[in-house]
Structure 1
Amino acid sequence: MNDHRMAPGDPTEPACEEAGEVRRFWGRLGLPGLVDVHTHFMPERVLRKVWGYFDALGPLTGGLEWPITYRKEEEERTALLREFGVRAFTSLLYPHKPGMARWLNGWAADFARRTPDCLHTATLYPEPGAEAYVEEAVAAGARVFKAHVQVGAYDPADEFLDRAWGLLAEAGIPVVIHCGSGPAPGSHTGPDPIARVLSRHPRLRLIVAHLGMPEYEEFLGLAERYTQVRLDTTMAFTDFSEELMPFPRRALPRLADLGDRVLLGSDFPNIPYPYVHQLHALERLGLGEEWLRAVCHDNAVGLFGL
């Protein structure tokens, strides 16, 4: 995505009060807007099922009350991100069974074509043919992949994914991966399975979602060991997460030192609080404006060549 295709930031005349708050946040930092690497867009019937799962307090939610703040139609959701001044975002989607990934990738490619400020997103699942459809998605212009170890209930080191990881490492395409054990542990969550992947593919550009919560320090360790590992801030430091899975304050200096490899993520629209709260939660860490500018915009611009 070239820079001229990213909507220019303009902190004036927002359509809603929250948009004004978000724009004032990045305006104070002297940024042209935000880049959010962890937003969800997917086929409507799939998204409705996801929302239904949250409403029903499904097991992977940890039994937590999880009201969806931005339960809106697709067009309204994209418009709201633009009102917030989000210059580029993702359409993270993920299969939970074999046979879904190629279909989801087709939908995501179409969504990217009609949504130029969305980074063309794709996904994968451990199954025969995974390497082939990953290669197809890369050839079609995918800029970022999504993997969800918790929902997919698979080992990321599964042999069916090995060639796909190698292909993505070679292509330098980032992968946003939910591999931490929050909000509820899965069969293959935690740092050890993904460490096995990285031992085979040390150049793989993994973006560990949610800072790896609750195994924050272990995933910081992986980022310190592997220079292509990054972390996104999704839901971290918010009141919601701090009550349940607090980030250890002793680890803040390590997070500060990795400031060039931490990226803004929000989980929009599936968050139980306003979007601006994630930004304020990062600001109140007290890590400084330079760190905030890098996390909220500059790191993703550099990674994706925006």
Structure 2
Amino acid sequence: MMRDTDVPQWWAKLGLPGLIDIHTHFLPERMLQRVWAHFDEAGPLIGRPWPITYRADEASRLAQVRRLGLRHFTALTYAHRPGMAADLTNFALDLAAAEPDCVPSATFYPEEGVLDEVHSALERGARVFKIHAQVGGFDLREPVLDPVWGLLAESGVPVVVHVGSGPVPRPGFTGPDKLEGVLRRHPQLTAVVAHLGAPEYGEFLDLADRYPRVHLDTTMVFTDFFEAAAPFPPELLPRLASMPERIVLGSDFPNIPYPYAHQLEALERLRDKEPALDDEWLRAVCWSNGKRLLGV
């Protein structure tokens, strides 16, 4: 099994200067502790035991991503109720100002003033947004969000969207139809579907076929942990090979129940099932696509 200490050798063997991870989390300490408590309890939106591998203070977690060779990473936050998003965005942008390898990140929530908040975040340099429809309990198609989607489509700034029905579906809030409704109105939106859209992999790949700026991140997909609950259908692997420019590395660090190295190991072993998922594909996923999307 690949270990974290093996990761720098892994990306160096691919001829890369490091890794770019579009889906990592840094949160205010009090909120992070609440999130970890929810994972510890295998809460209703988690569905099963989910031990946190990188349970450490912020300085230790920053040191860890740098030891792994993440040259650029995100501080994805997400609000689960009104009145939170602005503070979370402030936290993420402040962290990026202090840590230049942390990509300026932001979030938003369907509430009064959301358009002004997103506009402000863009003016302050946000290069990626994150929303979590499953945790937030909202429909991406809510009218208050329509001008936000328009602004983000025009800006070209990517939005990492958790709208797949895993790990636990929330009827009315999750599913590919929610994102498709947004894309019909804003077809140029740069949406990055978290977790490859698990478990609706095929439906989200269909959206990537129809909309040229839809991407999908690899977060947790193909790992042993995810394969046990939401296995990726082998017959869909050629579709991943056919769109190497649309798949981007994500991990969910630090909230993962295994070493970071296992995500990379899981991606590498795909070539045993689909030879076209080769070193060139891995270089695009682990570096080039993230570099282009995040503008770094």
Task: Please give the TM-score of this superposition, normalised by the length of structure 1.
Answer: 0.93
Write the distance in 1 (CA, Å) between the matches of 2:206 and 2:264: 24
Hey, what does 1:193 align to over in structure 2?
A: 178
Deviation sequence 1:191-237 (CA, Å, 0-9, x none): 00110000000000000000000000000000011000000000000
2:23 matched to which residue of 1?
38
Residue of structure 1 aligned with 2:68, choices 40, 64, 84: 84
Give me the whole-angstrom Cα distance separating, in 1, the residues matched to 2:126 and 2:294: 11
Letter aligned with residue 43 of structure 1: P
> Aligned residue for 1:139?
123
Post-superposition CA distance 1:25-64 (Å, at most 9, x none):
10110100000000000100001000000001101102x1
Q: Residue 78 of structure 2 is aligned with which of 94, 99, 106? A: 94
Amino acid at match of 1:153: G
Q: Which amino acid aligns with 1:260?
A: E
How far 1:304 sits from its partner (Å)? 2.2
Structure 2: segments with no counterpart, 5+ residues: 272-276
8 Å Cα contact 2:4-2:259 kept in structure 1: no
Structure 1: any 5+ residue segments left out of the alignment?
1-16
Whether 2:198 is the aligned partner of 1:213: answer yes
- Runs (4 or more) in structure 1 with deviation over 6 Å come to none
The counterpart of 1:301, out of the listed 286, 291, 295, is 291
Alpha-carbon RMSD: 0.9
CA distance in structure 1 between the aligned counterparts of 2:294 and 2:74, rounded to whole angstroms: 11
Q: What's the CA shift for 1:305?
A: 2.5
- Which of 272, 280, 283 aligns to 1:290? It is 280
In structure 2, the partner of 1:226 is: 211
Q: Does 1:273 align with 2:258?
A: yes
Amino acid paired to 1:221: D
The percentage of counterpart residues that share the same residue type is: 57
Aligned counterparts of 1:153 and 1:177: Cα–Cα separation in 2: 13
Distance in 2 between the 1:198 and 1:136 partners?
A: 23
1:236 aligns with 2:221: yes
1:107-148, Cα deviation, whole Å (9 max, x unpaired): 111111111101100001011110010001000110000010
Instruction: Provide Cα deviations, 1:238-266, integer angstroms capped at 9, x if missing partner.
Output: 00010110000000000111111100000
Paired residue for 2:274?
none
The one-letter amino acid of 1:293's match is: R
- The answer (yes or no) to whether the contact 2:127–2:295 under 8 Å persists in 1 is no
Distance between the aligned counterparts of 1:24 and 1:239, measured in 2? 22
In the alignment, residue 279 of structure 1 is paired with which amino acid? L
Cα displacement (A) at 1:105: 1.1
Provide the residue aligned with 1:8 in structure 2. none
* Residue 18 (structure 1) shift: 3.8
Give the residue type in structure 2 aligned to 1:141: G
Shift of 1:186: 1.3
Q: Determine helix, strand or coil for the equivalent of 1:284.
A: helix
- Give the structure 1 partner of residue 43 of structure 2: 58
Q: Whole-Å Cα distance in 2 between the matches of residues 217 and 95 of structure 1?
A: 28
Q: CA offset at residue 170 of structure 1?
A: 0.6
Give the number of aligned pairs: 289
Partner residue of 2:238 out of 249, 253, 257 = 253
